Structure 1
Amino acid sequence: MGAANAAPYDPFGSDDDGYQEQSSRGGWPVYDPYATQRGSSARGYSQGYGEDEAAQAQVARIPREVVEYNSRYTPGTIVVSTAERRLYYVMPGGQAVRYGVGVGRPGFTWSGVNKITAKREWPGWTPPAAMIARRPDLPRYMAGGIENPLGARAMYIGKSEYRIHGSNEPDTIGQAVSSGCIRMTNEDVTDLYSRVKVGATVIVN
């Protein structure tokens, strides 16, 4: 982001992996990371996260787990199940890391196969002109940081407007609330970001 927009202190860069071990088993609509069904302020983003980090810890989160995952997919592949609202990062040995995710709300779901084309820490966001026309209250640009709806990390999917990204609304994880992006808690997206390489395959179904 450059020296003028230095990244904020990163509380998600911990070495603690946070795992619980368990043996179990279209077209591109304009992206709107502000889209949500609850917990929004007048500007469209959560007032809770960032104002009181302790509040996020109170949210009953979906645990990150290593699970059995026997599939044909190559290790390093990302598989998103929109029905389950879970993301699987495929590992060797018939296992995967499973994360809770928020997915597209009705009318904004999609499926397909693509690649991760870029990764960003504390990404900034520039709303497209069509969205500004619909939502003139939106900022023309929002720098990366804890108030940014893209959260701590973002992984960009193909040439689309879609991303796998963090969120300043952790209580929306496990729900269908976005405009098609895959949202995660900041802790989980930071963990996934550390594993994923540019060029990784993303399968959304």
Structure 2
Amino acid sequence: MTDTRMTRRGLIGAAGAALTLPLIPARARATVNRNNISSFVSQEWQDHFENVDVVTLVADTGSRALHYWSVGAADYRVYPTSVPKTDELTKRGYTEIVRKKVGPTWTPTASQMERFPDWHPVEGGAPDNPLGTHAMYLSWPAYIIHGTHDTRKIGRPSSDGCIGLYNEKIAELFELCPIGTQVRVI
């Protein structure tokens, strides 16, 4: 017959093990790759541009991150982004920021109106504005780096071609990027 009595040493050991159980799922969750979390790939400006005589951005749609370098690359920052839903919506290549707007008005494109006839323009500053609080327009028509009120979109393929950031991050980047900022979308 087996002795099932608990000793003091056994009780202390069991209590210690029970206290560590809640930690195991937390550690396991930390290593899970969630759909809305970017796994940033490091970028070097030299891989994309000959120099950083002007502010430089690289929007990496694969890792869902926007990389920023100041003039001379003294300041480097990485921002999580939303990216286009499909490769067909993704324009890649070199462009630049040609216009900036605080409180941008959003107007659906012709292709969006075809797919979603009930969509309508949204005034700047509206809480349902898909462009969020700030927008930086690229030299490509209808392609914008902008904010979003829907934070679930960041880290996901969720746009019709634009690069989206959290509103507080686009506000920060808006101040750092003058018109003429060189941009590459990869």
- Per the alignment, residue 76 of structure 2 pairs with 96
Normalization by structure 2: what TM-score? 0.68
What code does the residue aligned with 1:117 have?
V
Tell me if the contact between 1:114 and 1:201 (Cα under 8 Å) persists in the aligned partners: yes
Q: Secondary structure at 1:166's aligned position in 2?
A: strand
2:124 to 144, 149, 152: 144
4+ residue runs over 6 A deviation: none
Shift of 1:61: 7.9
Normalization by structure 1: what TM-score? 0.62
Tell me if the contact between 1:68 and 1:94 (Cα under 8 Å) persists in the aligned partners: no
C-alpha distance in structure 2 between counterparts of 1:93 and 1:119, whole Å:
22
Identity %: 32
- Per the alignment, residue 201 of structure 1 pairs with 182
- Cα distance change of structure 1 residues 135 and 113 upon mapping to structure 2, 3 Å threshold: same
Offset from partner CA, 1:36-94 (integer Å, 9 cap, x none): xxxxxxxxxxxxxxxxxxxxxxxx987xxxx9956354051111111111101113356
Alignment of 1:1-205 (within 5 A): 69=44, 71=46, 73-74=51-52, 75-91=54-70, 92-93=72-73, 95-106=75-86, 107-139=88-120, 141-145=121-125, 146-205=127-186
Offset from partner CA, 1:152-205 (integer Å, 9 cap, x none): 100001041100000011121111111110000000000000000111111111
Tell me if the contact between 1:70 and 1:94 (Cα under 8 Å) persists in the aligned partners: no
Shift of 1:121: 0.3
Greater Cα radius of gyration, structure 1 or 2: 2
C-alpha distance in structure 2 between counterparts of 1:154 and 1:184, whole Å:
10
Offset from partner CA, 1:5-47 (integer Å, 9 cap, x none): xxxxxxxxxxxxxxxxxxxxxxxxxxxxxxxxxxxxxxxxxxx
What code does the residue aligned with 1:202 have?
V
